């Protein structure tokens, strides 16, 4: 065996040790892999609630599942023994509506969430997190794949849940009507099917555009097809984009409040009429905008 093949084989061993993954082909209750997953989840949940130092988890393991027709967030959650917090945290989902056919999800063999403080791997970090979550040190797990701490048995905080349920963002306009939604659409210029990463909301020229949530302005200016664009950075990796503006009324680095006016509707850039192009992104990935009060 050549030295390159030996190195590659050794690399595979490391990857599989750090991040074992099993294939979950379907969610039928008779599926032996699903039975194993549910059994491990049940056992690890018991351990996470225990204060006995001698008890330990079945090691953190992940199951890979591909979403099929008929699935939804809550069916997957119930069949795998998960909860809302775990699936959304592990897969960085912004709402239950993010689930789509063909999407690959990772399902861990224990409930829990990733801590958001980005602490390095060390016993000191483990101790701090154990104190933070009132858990024995040995129950806190460092996931080398993600380089983040996984806290078994814990749930999302109030702020994180507000984002997930669509309570964190307000609509960016107080008036207007939706002309193009999130997802595949017929491009108005090319007449070809393309992915539309946000919402187009028609409104009269000069209509106030407001910030959907508290945040910091990280871009103001002209940007390609967006025309005049304002980008606001929020917590937890989120940002919102407001395009085709007529006027921009905030400055780079300015901290804005939810509901604060940041510009006005226009048709600058690649636009067919007066409207706002609105996007929500998380870690640079387009997410489907979700509001508690839908437009």
CATH code for the domain in which residue 188 is found: 2.70.70.10
Residue 208 predicted with pLDDT over 50: yes
Structural contact between residues 114 and 150, judged by C-beta atoms closer than 8 angstroms: yes
For residues 222 and 268, membership in a common domain is answered with yes
Mean pLDDT, residues 236-254: 94
Please state the domain count of the chain: 2
Decide which of 164, 194, 221 is a domain's last residue: 164
Which residue's structure tokens are 């609630």?
A: 49
Please indicate, yes or no, if residue 292 is contained in any of the structural domains.
Answer: no
Chain mean pLDDT for the chain: 85
The pLDDT > 90 percentage for the chain reads 50
Structural contact between residues 230 and 263, judged by C-beta atoms closer than 8 angstroms: yes
Residue 291 predicted with pLDDT over 80: no
Decide which of 110, 136, 164 is a domain's last residue: 164
Question: pLDDT class for 16, splitting at 50, 70, 90?
Answer: very low
pLDDT recorded at residue 51: 63
- Give Cα separations from 281 to 5, 234, 277 (angstroms): 40, 10, 13
For residues 278 and 218, membership in a common domain is answered with yes
For residues 129 and 271, membership in a common domain is answered with no
Selected residue with higher pLDDT from 16 and 64:
64
Six-digit token string for 211: 């910030």
Selected residue with higher pLDDT from 19 and 65:
65
Residue 56 predicted with pLDDT over 90: no
For residues 61 and 92, membership in a common domain is answered with yes
Which residue's structure tokens are 């390609």?
A: 224
Please indicate, yes or no, if residue 225 is contained in any of the structural domains.
Answer: yes
Decide which of 164, 192, 211 is a domain's last residue: 164
Please indicate, yes or no, if residue 56 is contained in any of the structural domains.
Answer: yes
Please indicate, yes or no, if residue 294 is contained in any of the structural domains.
Answer: no
Question: pLDDT class for 187, splitting at 50, 70, 90?
Answer: confident
| Out of 101-115, 164-178, 238-252, least confident range | 164-178
Give phi and psi for 55, each to the nearest 5: -80, 140
Residue 259 predicted with pLDDT over 80: yes
Residue 118 predicted with pLDDT over 60: yes
pLDDT recorded at residue 196: 75
pLDDT recorded at residue 201: 94
For residues 154 and 204, membership in a common domain is answered with no
For residues 24 and 160, membership in a common domain is answered with yes
Please indicate, yes or no, if residue 293 is contained in any of the structural domains.
Answer: no
Give phi and psi for 231, each to the nearest 5: -120, 130
Residue 110 predicted with pLDDT over 60: yes
For residues 140 and 195, membership in a common domain is answered with no
For residues 92 and 204, membership in a common domain is answered with no
pLDDT recorded at residue 139: 83
pLDDT recorded at residue 243: 95
Q: What is the DSSP letter of 263?
A: E
Residue 87 predicted with pLDDT over 50: yes
pLDDT recorded at residue 159: 78
Question: pLDDT class for 287, splitting at 50, 70, 90?
Answer: confident
**Residues 69-75: contacts with CB under 8 Å, at least 24 apart:** 69/101, 71/27, 71/99, 71/101, 72/96, 72/99, 73/97, 73/98, 73/99, 75/27
For residues 7 and 70, membership in a common domain is answered with yes
Other CB atoms closer than 10 Å to residue 47's CB: what's the count? Answer: 16
Domain that holds residue 88: 3-164
């Amino acid at each position: 065996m050549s030295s390159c093949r030996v190195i590659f084989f050794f690399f595979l061993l490391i990857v599989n040790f750090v991040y074992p993954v099993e294939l979950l082909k379907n969610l039928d209750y008779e599926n032996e892999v699903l039975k194993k997953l549910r059994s491990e989840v049940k056992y690890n949940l018991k351990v996470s609630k225990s204060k006995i130092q001698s008890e330990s988890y079945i090691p953190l393991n992940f199951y890979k599942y591909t979403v099929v027709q008929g699935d939804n967030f809550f069916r997957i959650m119930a069949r795998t023994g998960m909860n809302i917090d775990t699936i959304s945290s592990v897969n960085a989902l912004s709402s239950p509506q993010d689930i789509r056919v063909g999407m690959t999800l990772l399902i861990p063999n224990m409930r829990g969430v990733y801590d958001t403080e980005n602490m390095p791997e060390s016993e000191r970090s483990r101790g701090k997190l154990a104190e933070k979550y009132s858990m024995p040190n040995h129950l806190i797990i460092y996931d080398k794949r993600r380089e983040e701490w996984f806290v078994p048995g814990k749930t999302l905080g109030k702020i994180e849940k507000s984002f997930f349920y669509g309570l964190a963002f307000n609509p960016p306009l107080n008036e207007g009507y939706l002309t193009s939604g999130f997802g595949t659409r017929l491009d108005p210029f090319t007449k070809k099917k393309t992915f539309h990463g946000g919402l187009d909301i028609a409104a009269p020229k000069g209509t106030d555009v407001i910030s959907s949530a508290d945040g910091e302005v990280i871009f103001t200016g002209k940007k390609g097809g967006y025309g005049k664009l304002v980008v606001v950075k929020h917590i937890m990796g989120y940002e919102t984009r407001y395009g085709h503006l007529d006027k921009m009324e905030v400055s780079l680095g300015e901290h804005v409040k939810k509901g604060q006016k940041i510009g006005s509707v226009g048709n600058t850039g690649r636009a067919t009429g007066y409207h706002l192009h609105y996007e929500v992104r998380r870690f640079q990935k387009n997410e489907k905008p979700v509001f508690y009060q839908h437009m």
